[in-house]
């Protein structure tokens, strides 16, 4: 299985825009359409498509200057299309994303937030070395991965 990250362009945005999560996950994440729009209006937001064996399989969005701090990256969205979940695509995509971010000069830390009741997200991110640091102003758990932390192998 070949999983890679792809730039969202005029030619492919519709493939990623309409992806859905299962009903029980929909309140956990903003829509891909909203996230793609954000990436067009906020210059530090980077939208990437997750591609598996040449086919669109998921979506992610990160901020390359979180909180206005150079070197701080925040992953705001990370999802695998409902029909493709449970196959290891997310794990490979997260490994690819972390590898991409670690290539950025001046990387200090990477953060991600998730709902406190989302045990699957907690375990998934912990498997990459993310450490919970507390609850943010929206009531979501914040987990952090320092630049020196290697994370788990994919």
The pLDDT assigned to 29 comes to 66
The pLDDT assigned to 154 comes to 38
SS3 content of the chain, % helix, strand, coil (to 5): 30, 30, 35
Q: Would you say the C-alpha torsion 79, 99, 66, 64 has a positive or negative sign?
A: negative
Domain boundaries, the chain: 3-108
The pLDDT assigned to 22 comes to 61
Kindly indicate whether the domain formed by 3-108 is annotated with CATH number 3.30.360.10.
no
pTM over 0.85: yes
The pLDDT assigned to 32 comes to 84
Show the tokens assigned to 30. 């903003």
Report the alpha-carbon distance of residue 43 to residue 38 in Å, rounded. 9
Q: Which residues of the chain have pLDDT under 70?
A: 21-22, 24-29, 147-154
The pLDDT assigned to 153 comes to 38
The pLDDT assigned to 152 comes to 42
3-class DSSP state of 143: strand
For the chain, the distance separating the N- and C-terminal CA atoms, rounded to the nearest angstrom, is: 13
């Amino acid at each position: 299985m070949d999983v890679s990250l792809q730039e969202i362009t005029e030619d492919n945005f519709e493939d990623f825009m309409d992806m859905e999560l299962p009903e029980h996950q929909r309140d956990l994440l903003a829509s891909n359409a909203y996230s793609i729009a954000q990436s067009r209006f906020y210059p530090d937001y980077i939208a990437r498509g997750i591609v598996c064996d040449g086919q669109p399989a998921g979506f992610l969005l990160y901020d390359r200057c979180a909180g206005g701090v150079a070197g701080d990256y925040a992953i705001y969205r990370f999802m695998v299309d409902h029909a493709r979940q449970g196959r290891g695509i997310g794990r490979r995509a997260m490994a690819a994303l972390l590898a991409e971010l670690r290539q950025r000069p001046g990387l200090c830390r990477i953060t991600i937030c998730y709902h406190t009741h989302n045990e699957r997200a907690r375990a998934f991110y912990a498997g990459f070395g993310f450490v919970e640091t507390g609850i943010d102003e929206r009531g979501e758990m914040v987990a952090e991965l320092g630049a020196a932390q290697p994370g788990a192998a994919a």
